[in-house]
Structure 1
Amino acid sequence: MTGTEERTSAESPEPGGYAAARLRLLTEGARTGPPRRAALAELTDDWLAGLFAAGAGRPQGISGISLVAVGGYGRGELSPRSDLDLLLLHDGSDPTAVAALADRLWYPVWDLGLDLDHSVRTLAEARRTAGEDLKVQLGLLDARHLAGDLGLTAGLRTAVLADWRNQAPKRLPELKELCDERAERQGELRFLLEPDLKEARGGLRDATALRAVAASWLADAPREGLAEARRTLLDVRDALHLSTGRATDRLALQEQDQVAAELGLLDADVLLRQVYEAAGVISYAADVTWREVGRVLRSRAVRPRLRAMLGGGKQVAERSPLAEGVVEQDGEVVLARAARPERDPVLALRAAAAAAQAGLPLSPYAVRRLAAAARPLPTPWPAEAREDLVTLLGSGRPTVEVWEALEAEGLISRLLPDWERVRCRPQRNAVHIWTVDRHLIETAVRAAALTRHVHRPDLLLVGALLHDIGKGWPGDHSVAGEIIAKDVAGRIGFDAEDAAVLATLVRHHLLLIDTATRRDLDDPATVRSVADAVGTQGTLELLHALTEADALATGPAAWSSWRGSLVADLVRRVGALLAGDLPDEPAPTAPTAEQERLAIEAFRTGGPVLALRARSEPVPAEETPGAPEPLGVELLIAVPDQSAVLPAVAGVLAVHRLTVRTAELRTLRLPQDVNDGDGSVLLLDWRVAAEYGSLPEAARLRADLVRALDGSLDIQGRLAERDAAYPRRRGLLAPPPRVTVAPAASHHATVIEVRAQDGPGLLHRIGMALEKAGVRVRSMHVSTLGANAVDAFYVTTGAGEPLPEQDAGSVARVLEETLRAP
């Protein structure tokens, strides 16, 4: 718009007129997405042009000064709460007039409460600053004229682009390093539950970096879907700004439902899936682009030397064969010239397997050609196709990049249609660090390291790929997954027996870890129930490896040497039973010398006696070397048999910020030479972890335990004070607790399972409720995954018998009501 054109009231340089027009635009339901961003940018352009003309005193073009939009505003990507990136460019002839004009421009923007990133520079200063600061240079690449001397702005754009292209060999590696540092700091957008739409890897910053690479003329990003992905993230940011009223790029959990509604989406899961899909497109484009940049820069560095060696002759890139129809060229896997994907349905899997085995990326052009021309595989797959899939899955870390290349062109969903339901599916569980699809691939990567431990590596790898495939369906994902896995196994060419094993692996992939951490392994019913579900030694072997791979691929909170030792112990017992070597009723474990000493001392003194010591265990040789893994604190407590011991001990540990990992409680009858024949002591063998790494003194623990047992220590009051001082994070709404009775889990006790939000004092509250219910706790097995606690309590009547069915249900209901109470 020029100074001679008529201005509407909405385009008045007065802040009030602009503010009213802006408000109408943002509250208009008809205009959203790119049209609204373009309209907001145009409205802001006109307002700033009016301010510029009024400040300069001349509505016509002004020589020697121009107002330039840069960065996101320069691209016209104005979200409702975006800041304005502005440059007042001048020729240096009248600094006083420039300063006065700057005041007339900046203060109205500030008066409206808009964020402003501004600078005042000559052309030479702008170029020099860009040469010193990469971020400034990136912003200037999107410079757009708003008002004033158009020739001055055009000169800036020409000079900045020329500088960028001339400096590309130096600047692009700097930009790549900047992107890598940001990704390390912010994480990958497509796997985060609360992603930063701008800064995380695969976000808007990366999309802008790809534009900068294209502007260098050195390389270009794959264009398929890139513009749409960028638009999706911008639309979500617009909705986020409108929902929160703040200039934020972080899509927090508590705002996702509102943002989804603003965009007309079904729910927050649909929103996250769209965000993840867009981020995946941008991440893949970035990977391909930066690989191409590296290839070009390497070739430029080598070419002069080659020319000198070859006397100026033309060098042809060498092609090395990898498999039938597949060759390596210039660090990438491409199709051979004679390859005919339209006649070779196995070619896509063969190329992927060859690339993963060689540790090389698949050329995006090869993948695109395969996607366009490849024929569907027959059902069942030929043996070669199944073997290539297994080879791809068993290649370790390179599998991830190759798999993502196939996914980018839709080949995975074509090969495995059931994959579409888990693709980019979020997992609203802090323990999981990946989406469902990436978790499945990560599990296969972990399983690849365990293939030497099993007789059927192919079943382990395919089981790893399919173990969570049921998460795309309603209900128990293990049950749904069993059906899907059996069908997929048949389609890809496994016989009925192997398909049945895969179905069993998927159905019971959580069985070992759940049982080992939540059940009494000394109870024959526990071991027999696992043996009945698994069926054979071979399946048990596969399930053991799958359990470890699944947990390692879930996240750091899901696996430890301690969990691994529990699972291994369970597998040993089940294996013995399957081999016919395990007796039905193992003899009770005799107390150790230390346990017996503590019990005798507790009986003689009439009070609690305890011992604690830190323990650690080395990291296994096959895992990453490092410091020993903390095993926590081994805590032995002996207390003369009395009531309320469990809540007292749990409460004292919570007060001292000790987290309970495992707990065993049993009654020990003392020898007759110690007592008159009726003396007994409660023996607690617990393992705890210090919340902040420092162990409390045993004397302090004992003193507080004495006070807790005699009622003089107000545990509930102490814990309430801590809760008040450290309130839970705003917006994180935990699901309600659930208490169930596990039928037939034990012949000697009733097993009550508690699932609840973990927190200080949880075990104390549970112990108090069980004490009021009049039941005795024989043992408990604690499992904490992130913020979720899953604890199993083996309880009996006062006579040591399992609870009657009706009483067990009543205890479970009372306990659940207690935990639901605020």
Structure 2
Amino acid sequence: MQTGTDTDIDAPTEPANGPGAQPATTGGAGRPAAEEPAAAVGRDGAGGGGDARGGGPDGARAELAAARARRGAELDRWLAELLAETGAGDEVALVTVGSHGRGELTPGGDLDLVLVHRGRPDIAEIADRLWYPIWDRGLRLDHSVRTLEEARQVAGSDLKAAMGLLGARRLAGDQELADQLRTAVLADWRLQARRRLAELAELTRRRWADQGELAFLLEPDLKEARGGLRDVHVMQAAAATWAAPGPGERVRAAHDLLLDVRHALHETTGRATDRLVLQEHEAVARALGLADGTALLRAIVEAARTVTYAADHLWRHVDRYCADRSRSVRAAGAVRIERRPVGDGAVEHDGEVVLARGADLTDPVLPLRVASAAAQAGLPLAPATVERLADKVPPLPVPWPAEARDALVSLLGAGAPAITVWEALDQAGLIVRALPEWERVRNRPQRNPVHRFTVDRHLVEAAAGAAAMTRDVARPDLLLVGALLHDIGKGLPGDHSRTGAVLAREMAVRMGFADGDADVLETVVRHHLLLPDTATRRDLDDPVTVQTVLDGVCAVPGRGREVLEILAALAVADAQATGPAAWGAWKARLVEELVRRVDARLTGTTPPREDLHPAPGDLALARHDGASVRVVGSRVTVAVRDRPGLLWRAAGVLALHRLVVRTARVFSAADVGTAVLDFVAVPEYGTPPEPAALEADLRRMLAGRLDVAARLEQRAAAVRRRPGVPVPPPRVTIVDDASSTATVVEVRAHDRPGLLWRIGQAIGACGLQVVGARVDTLGAEAVDVFYVVDGEGRPLETPAALSSLREKILAALR
């Protein structure tokens, strides 16, 4: 049976007219749909392009469901006629499995048909007369021909085939034979439940590892990613064993939403694709009657997280079932499941935390207390317990009692286990009830490849990460709550740090924090980017840099060091929760150095600091006419005869050797006419280049024998870019008051080979020199900062000179 890689599954249902029949058409996950007049059947199915449908999202989705129903009904009638025209007669049945079997066939979906027979010698001729008209119509078809016993054997050895046959639906032919097929496969499935569920769990988790999590992907596979359509179908197959619960109403609604998105995607693209790429977001949103691509992503996130939450509970249940051979005895009451207390009002029951028998459901602190106990024990909350808490327990008073605040801090302080528990509370609506501001960030996509998570999940991940650093700060409670709220302003107009600071203070007061603590939280949220932004984009030797940070951390009188500690820990937790591109050894070293210098100013001491000036040996490297290079780890030191444009010319050579510059500094020794360039540069991939090769190319460039510009253009042209993906225009900003000795220019642009070279060329064309640079790359976006002086070593002063510099850099980047 060729159910192949696209086999869908469904939980069996018992129809009124026999154990093997199902409704001919459905709209969504088992949702009956009314018969409609037949539509033309073809490769595109219910066509229509990407225009918005009437009636808003509900109306648009209703039309999609109706289109699937019409197409399914027409296919059913046409296929039944085809079988009748073959003259097959009795002892042959045509059944459908997968999405068509469930009434979910989208325009790009495949037909998956099985011709079942009782040993007919002419079955090959019947099959040919059946399959060829389908192919002639241009439909994609997976097909197989089996006797009843052959189908059972295939199902017994092929997990995907078994899951497909579980949902087999008769289209035409021998009703009794179709019923026998489905009944036999279902009986075998239940008889071998432990083995098949263990196989299904392994297959599912391998798929999750390969496809990622639908809720947190910018270009997800709607079907195969974790939390997608496939997971609902797998849950239905698991439920068919009678050993696991089936999907509930909320999961079925989430499934229907994802199915409608898949349908709209097939319509708008005209292709059988399940991956929702960026350039299709707006068109699919319009087809669903949604405002824009962000609204579409938010709806998908909501649905995917609902499915993922239910799937996680299911597989915990299945894992226990498969590991416990005596479960059937226990279920009969022969052995009691032990209940172990884990906290006030909470007990562990069969691997999950449930309410104790004497739990006080009138206590508004109970949800946070039980959640804290579960997280601290490293256990999930039972879904039924969470729903009961949401239904029965009254909301928290304002301000919160101290016990509620302590329970929240304890929950966050559990680290990684807090994430699962928080998700359970969120699914039941308990988070928004306690923190109404959470609704704005809940399921909000970041639409930025640097960010791995939605805004709300990022906040929880940051708080969980901050739990590992609570011993490094004087007030761990303020660190954890600050991490939870640091991006709470996203989704509001303006700078999210400033708007979030106002919200954070209001929330802190409502949580019962003292006024001084609320001030600290407000300051932490307002300045949560201060340390990483300053460390990576400003010259640490410039006195203005340290003073800028001091002004921020000392906003709360007498608590400057406390704020600095929290900001330092939050910088790490925030970046690590963002994604791998947001943190690394280079950034960590710069932030640590900045914190040491600021702390020294706060305490009036002299910090131990790195010697950022060139060693005498570096100057000696270039006393001859040429260039010398030294590579130690990621640090590249270049010593050459001083000349204009040296920094960006050398950066161009580094780019040719596939080195990505992170920081760049220039030191000049006028007495010997030598300059030392100090780069921190890492390879794009693989190992660093040989120093000898770098030195040779530097010599060629300085002698005018290496056309760096042409070579970089060749590299840039070779970079493959997906057509249609919009790239934001570059932005050049003159940063006021960032330095008293140089003009500070910040450039934000899409990263590409030789970007530093192009910017340097533009600066050189203005007759200016770069005396230092901080280069940061976040995913595909570069944030580069340059300290620039004129020919006399002074910052630019006139608006005309600043405007000219800005325009020349923009022109070079365009």
Structures share fold, TM-score greater than 0.5: yes
Partner of 1:240: 265
Partner of 1:727: 720
In 2, the alpha carbon distance for the partners of 1:339 and 1:807 equals 72
Partner of 1:155: 180
1:700-751 C-alpha deviation (Å, 9 max, x unpaired): 3233223333443222222222233333233332211111011111111111
Q: Which runs of 5+ in 2 are unaligned?
A: 1-16, 22-34, 55-61, 555-559
* Percent of residue pairs identical: 54
Partner of 2:14: none
**2:637 aligns to what SS in structure 1?**
strand
Residue 612 (structure 1) aligned with residue 636 (structure 2): no
**1:522 aligns to what SS in structure 2?**
coil
In 1, the alpha carbon distance for the partners of 2:101 and 2:116 equals 14
In 2, the alpha carbon distance for the partners of 1:133 and 1:368 equals 38
User: Structure 1's 380 and 523: CA in aligned 2 closer, same or farther, altered over 3 A?
Assistant: same
Displacement of 1:23: 5.2
1:628-679 C-alpha deviation (Å, 9 max, x unpaired): xxxx2x2111222212222321221222211111110122123xxxxxxxx4
Question: What are the residue-to-residue correspondences of 1:294-305 with 2, within 5 Å?
Answer: 294-301=319-326
Q: Which of residues 262, 266, 274 in structure 1 aligns to 2:299?
A: 274
Question: What are the residue-to-residue correspondences of 1:203-602 with 2, within 5 Å?
Answer: 203-221=228-246, 223-301=248-326, 314-341=334-361, 343-535=362-554, 536-581=560-605, 590-599=613-622, 601=623
1:547-595 C-alpha deviation (Å, 9 max, x unpaired): 1111111111111122111101000000111123359xx9996531321
Q: Counterpart of 2:616 in structure 1: which amino acid?
A: A
Question: What are the residue-to-residue correspondences of 1:14-53 with 2, within 5 Å?
Answer: 18-19=41-42, 22=45, 32-53=63-84
Q: Counterpart of 2:124 in structure 1: which amino acid?
A: A
In 2, the alpha carbon distance for the partners of 1:208 and 1:587 equals 59
1:15-54 C-alpha deviation (Å, 9 max, x unpaired): xx64499456889967623222222111111111111111
Ranked by relative contact order (alpha carbons within 8 Å, sequence separation 6 or more), the top structure is 2
In 2, the alpha carbon distance for the partners of 1:203 and 1:812 equals 50
TM-score for both structures, normalised by structure 2: 0.91
Partner of 1:799: 792
In 2, the alpha carbon distance for the partners of 1:88 and 1:471 equals 55
In 1, the alpha carbon distance for the partners of 2:281 and 2:94 equals 37
User: Structure 1's 697 and 150: CA in aligned 2 closer, same or farther, altered over 3 A?
Assistant: same
**1:469 aligns to what SS in structure 2?**
coil
1:231-271 C-alpha deviation (Å, 9 max, x unpaired): 01000001110111110000001111111111111111110
TM-score for both structures, normalised by structure 1: 0.90
Count of paired positions: 768
In 2, the alpha carbon distance for the partners of 1:303 and 1:162 equals 18
Q: Counterpart of 1:611 in structure 2: which amino acid?
A: V
Partner of 1:636: 637
User: Structure 1's 261 and 21: CA in aligned 2 closer, same or farther, altered over 3 A?
Assistant: closer
Residue 669 (structure 1) aligned with residue 670 (structure 2): yes
Q: Which of residues 129, 138, 145 in structure 2 aligns to 1:113?
A: 138
Partner of 1:202: 227
In 2, the alpha carbon distance for the partners of 1:466 and 1:655 equals 43
In 1, the alpha carbon distance for the partners of 2:432 and 2:494 equals 23
**2:621 aligns to what SS in structure 1?**
helix
In 2, the alpha carbon distance for the partners of 1:116 and 1:692 equals 43
Partner of 1:620: none
In 2, the alpha carbon distance for the partners of 1:20 and 1:752 equals 55
Displacement of 1:127: 0.5
In 1, the alpha carbon distance for the partners of 2:423 and 2:682 equals 39
In 1, the alpha carbon distance for the partners of 2:268 and 2:38 equals 26
Q: Name which of structure 1's ranges 420-429 and 698-707 shifts more when overlaid on structure 2.
A: 698-707
In 2, the alpha carbon distance for the partners of 1:20 and 1:360 equals 49
**2:395 aligns to what SS in structure 1?**
coil
Q: Which runs of 5+ in 1 are unaligned?
A: 3-7, 616-631, 671-678
Displacement of 1:378: 0.5
Q: Counterpart of 1:119 in structure 2: which amino acid?
A: S
Mapped contact 2:50–2:286 kept (Cα < 8 A):
no
In 1, the alpha carbon distance for the partners of 2:809 and 2:762 equals 9
Partner of 2:652: 651
Displacement of 1:469: 0.8
Q: Which of residues 176, 188, 205 in structure 2 aligns to 1:180?
A: 205
Q: Counterpart of 1:471 in structure 2: which amino acid?
A: K
User: Structure 1's 49 and 10: CA in aligned 2 closer, same or farther, altered over 3 A?
Assistant: farther
In 2, the alpha carbon distance for the partners of 1:805 and 1:461 equals 46
In 2, the alpha carbon distance for the partners of 1:217 and 1:358 equals 30
In 2, the alpha carbon distance for the partners of 1:263 and 1:731 equals 21
In 1, the alpha carbon distance for the partners of 2:81 and 2:610 equals 91
Q: Counterpart of 2:593 in structure 1: which amino acid?
A: D
Q: Counterpart of 1:613 in structure 2: which amino acid?
A: V
Partner of 2:557: none
Displacement of 1:10: 8.7
**2:437 aligns to what SS in structure 1?**
helix
Mapped contact 1:26–1:80 kept (Cα < 8 A):
no
Partner of 1:675: none
Q: Counterpart of 1:318 in structure 2: which amino acid?
A: E
Partner of 2:780: 787
Displacement of 1:340: 3.1
1:41-68 C-alpha deviation (Å, 9 max, x unpaired): 11111111111111227xxxx3110110
Partner of 1:629: none
**1:472 aligns to what SS in structure 2?**
coil
Mapped contact 1:145–1:153 kept (Cα < 8 A):
yes
Partner of 2:162: 137
User: Structure 1's 317 and 241: CA in aligned 2 closer, same or farther, altered over 3 A?
Assistant: same
In 2, the alpha carbon distance for the partners of 1:706 and 1:412 equals 63
Q: Counterpart of 1:448 in structure 2: which amino acid?
A: A
Q: Name which of structure 1's ranges 65-74 and 708-717 shifts more when overlaid on structure 2.
A: 708-717
**1:756 aligns to what SS in structure 2?**
strand
Q: Counterpart of 1:324 in structure 2: which amino acid?
A: D
Mapped contact 1:463–1:505 kept (Cα < 8 A):
yes
User: Structure 1's 382 and 395: CA in aligned 2 closer, same or farther, altered over 3 A?
Assistant: same
Mapped contact 1:635–1:685 kept (Cα < 8 A):
yes
In 2, the alpha carbon distance for the partners of 1:224 and 1:11 equals 30
In 2, the alpha carbon distance for the partners of 1:431 and 1:9 equals 46
**1:32 aligns to what SS in structure 2?**
helix
**2:242 aligns to what SS in structure 1?**
coil
Residue 752 (structure 1) aligned with residue 745 (structure 2): yes
**1:543 aligns to what SS in structure 2?**
helix
**1:692 aligns to what SS in structure 2?**
coil
Q: Counterpart of 1:52 in structure 2: which amino acid?
A: L
Partner of 2:59: none
In 2, the alpha carbon distance for the partners of 1:482 and 1:21 equals 51
